[in-house]
Amino acid sequence: MKEKLAAFKVEMGEIWDLNMAGALLGWDQQTNMPPNGAEERSEQLATLSKIAHHKATSDEIGKMLDELLVYAKSLEPDSDDARLIRRSKIDFDKMTRVPSEKVAEFARVTTLAQEKWVQARAKSDFSLFRPHLERIVELRREYADYFKPYDHVYDPLLDDFEPGLKTADVKDIFSRLRPQQVKLLQAIAARPQVEDDFLHLKYDDKKQWDFGVDIITRFGYDWNAGRQDRSAHPFTTSFGIGDVRITTRILENLVSSGLFGTMHEAGHGMYQQGLAANLSRTILANGASMAVHESQSRMWENLVGRSRAFWRFFYPKLQAVFPAQLGNVSMEKFYKAINKVEPSYIRTESDEATYNLHVMLRLELEIALMEGTLKVADLPEAWNTRMQEYLGITPRNDSEGVLQDVHWSGGMIGYFPTYALGNLVSVQLWEVINRDIPDLESQIEQGEFGALLGWLREKVHRHGSKFDPQELVQKVTGSKIDPQPYVGYLRTKYSDIYGL
């Protein structure tokens, strides 16, 4: 049976290679491809997707899995091989429900949609993107139908990003989180606002880039196994443990954007770089889920990057790079500015106290689109209405409203909830980390991150997707995803900043 398993891994490796080739084409589209290449690129990605899907759902693979499932019962349940077999069976059963032709069509449609989204966002004109999003929503409904009966039409989409989690689970978590965050925001709004005008002065693009590179190098991002490029919307992609690429976006009139965006994506990148080598070219060579992935990016961005300890080390260096802008600004004033709580239009630029509300807004819109209670044509108005209800502001145009995120152009309906869930997981992990590394704050003050990264490598990264997200969080923290630690973190942090 070991020979059968070895043969299965060869087959899985070839499927992995096809998918990684497609991922490389997708990365190139968002970083280097000229606009006129979209049509042909859509066909290339459709072809690769169809071939990979057809191979992954073949009768031969099905027969091999049936035999290997019996063999898996003789293995230690949490061994890499046992987990690989069981995870492969789950994925096989999902993939065989969807025709290869539909997989190809989805790749084709989303490739073209991504390019139209770039154009629409640049012109702040939702009408350019609308027909493409309408088709994507249709395809996502068709996809969900392949998994009937379901508890909710959104469940199959959510499961692609957060295995095992149901729409009802997310709604329950958010229903417990939302009122506590709203109460905190109301308390903050009653206090004098902190100043942040100096963050909006002109900051040289290259100097910002170089400073961000220095930060994530100190974090432990491996440049021999990665690179950083520019994109309209920052993202991370991986073609293997030895090739994990991140992108960032620099704004000359908002220094915090590029810095924290770079830290965020590096968190994703270091997760992928930290996978156990023996998981390479298998379906386990990925994060446990997008929520767990986001816990890593949000941890490095916020729990580390927005902390006082972090800036005690880095702020004098930032002042030296930008003396005209920051030379007369104290570290404490800078610390409060980068943690300022204020309703904002752009999710990626929002503060920790309002960020989850941006996510909840998107979740509601996605569910309405999937249920058919909201038409794509009405999406801009619905977006603006909810922004006013949730944050008390109304976007002035489509670019800072409904067109701000790249996700829908890629068909990633079901992804957004994972951002907020990742916030919750990050603090659950952080509490355990500080227990295990009692002098962590002191280490961060010295610009030392080796112990932190080492802990994450051992407890989270090396396992890849061996464990479902709730299972992994339970193993590491002792409980499943829970909003209370995050709420406590926010209260403590902002009570200090705003004198609550």
Question: What does the pLDDT read at residue 138?
Answer: 98
Q: 323-351: string of b/e by CB count within 10 Å (b at 16+)?
A: eebbeebebeebbbbbbbbbbbbebbbbb
Question: What does the pLDDT read at residue 1?
Answer: 83
3-class DSSP state of 221: coil
Catalytic residues: 265
Give the residue from 96, 71, 91, 93 showing the smallest Cα distance to 82.
Answer: 71
Give the residue from 142, 60, 80, 131 showing the smallest Cα distance to 105.
Answer: 142
Q: Give CA separation, 497 vs 52, 192, 311, 339, 347, in Å.
A: 52, 10, 15, 8, 21
- For 166, left (φ over 0), alpha (ψ -120 to 50), or beta? beta
- Domain extents for the chain? 2-149, 167-498
Question: What does the pLDDT read at residue 232?
Answer: 82
Backbone φ and ψ for 104, nearest 5 degrees, come out as: -65, -45
Distance of CA 473 to the CA centre of its chain: 17
Cβ atoms < 10 Å from Cβ of 272: 27
Q: Which segments of the chain have a pLDDT < 70? A: none
Give the residue from 418, 425, 350, 343 showing the smallest Cα distance to 386.
Answer: 343
Sign of CA dihedral 115, 398, 204, 338: negative
Cβ atoms < 10 Å from Cβ of 435: 9
Longest dimension (CA), the chain: 70
Sign of CA dihedral 437, 439, 441, 443: negative
**Structure tokens of 472?**
């992994």
CATH class of 167-498: mainly alpha
Query: Residues 237, 29: contact at Cβ < 8 Å?
Result: no
Question: What is d(CA 470, CA 164) in angstroms, rounded to the nearest whole number?
Answer: 8
**Structure tokens of 412?**
């990633």
Q: What is the pTM of this model?
A: 0.93
Specify the residue for token string 């992995």.
16
Question: What is d(CA 381, CA 368) in angstroms, rounded to the nearest whole number?
Answer: 13
Question: What is d(CA 284, CA 279) in angstroms, rounded to the nearest whole number?
Answer: 6
Strand order across the beta sheet in which 244-248 lies: 226-230, 244-248, 236-238
Q: What is the pLDDT of residues 219-228, one digit of tens each?
A: 999 999 999 9
Question: What does the pLDDT read at residue 377?
Answer: 98
Q: Give CA separation, 300 vs 262, 270, 296, 449, 458, in Å.
A: 10, 10, 6, 10, 17
Can the peptide bond before residue 149 be classed as cis, meaning omega within 30 degrees of 0?
Answer: yes
Dihedral in degrees, nearest 10, Cα atoms 99, 102, 108, 110:
-120
